[in-house]
Structure 1
Amino acid sequence: MKVQEIRELIKLIDESSIDEFKYESNGTKVKLKKRTVEAAAPVKEQVVVSEPVIQPQRMETSTAQTNDKPQVEQAAPVAEVKEQAPNYDQEVTSPMVGTFYRAPSPDSDPYVQVGDKVKNDSVVCIVEAMKLFNEIEAEVNGEIVEVLVEDGELVEYGQPLFRVKSK
């Protein structure tokens, strides 16, 4: 989600009678709440996870101030941005469009699971394209920390399939 989209959401929520709004898509979570404080303007809270967003922070202003412009103070920000440090440094991506399979057959164990160590020539999955089953190799050395695709799901060229923490 882009900063401009978040600003538009804040403005729409501010102008509406909605008190709380939650949105989640592709690992990004946005939560906006309105609350009123005596002698203060409405306050909005925002939490963004997995996607760093830098935006101006809006602060509360007291009614005793004569300046029409809201004052921004670094000490007490109302908008919070939580940024998680990634626990991976490589991604195994799909080299083609096709159907993703974690195992060589439906009754077999998956090639790899979270926590498994892989080498650059380790087979991690199969992508079926035009009735051809293509074994996909990790092409990196490390540990699988996340599987991003469900078994049987269609994948696109360049789509991340696994996240790997290099050794």
Structure 2
Amino acid sequence: MVADLDLPKPFDVGEFCERLSEKRGRRIVLVPKDLPPHSPCGLCVSTHDTDYVFYQAATSGPHRLQIILHEIGHLLCGHGTETVMDEATSRALVPDLDPEMVRRMLARTYYAKEEEAEAETIATLIFTEIGDYAHDRTWTVPDDATDVVKRIIKSLDGGDEAI
């Protein structure tokens, strides 16, 4: 699944969402919010043609990206939703609307543990693919360390790959 995502290089989450929106035929709108303590770090609200990905704005860049990718993981896996939004989360997301109406109409996404694990796996696979340690990254080994590095690589995977 991750191999088919056409991840932009260098990675840009906005461009990724545009590409994915085009592929799925549904808009993805990223919405940073300062979510209250003890609320979810992210959630996805879907309308008939748009998926809104709300994510915690008040956290580090890598954590924000992991939250966004986790919610996108739910979208990619086609996970369902049911209503379980509390008033504090409702007010944080859309402060001008009555929280009860928001709970009834939009809903916070609630997933089973298996779906959470699946979404987190997708997010982690994407994050690994685009991160500093992605498999296609290379680095330079100083001449005086080449023999040691080769021995370490060989002992770890039995290979004798060029450095």
Task: Name the one with the larger helix percent.
Answer: 2
TM-score scaled by length of structure 1 = 0.20
Structure with max Cα Rg: 1
Task: Name the one with the larger strand percent.
Answer: 1
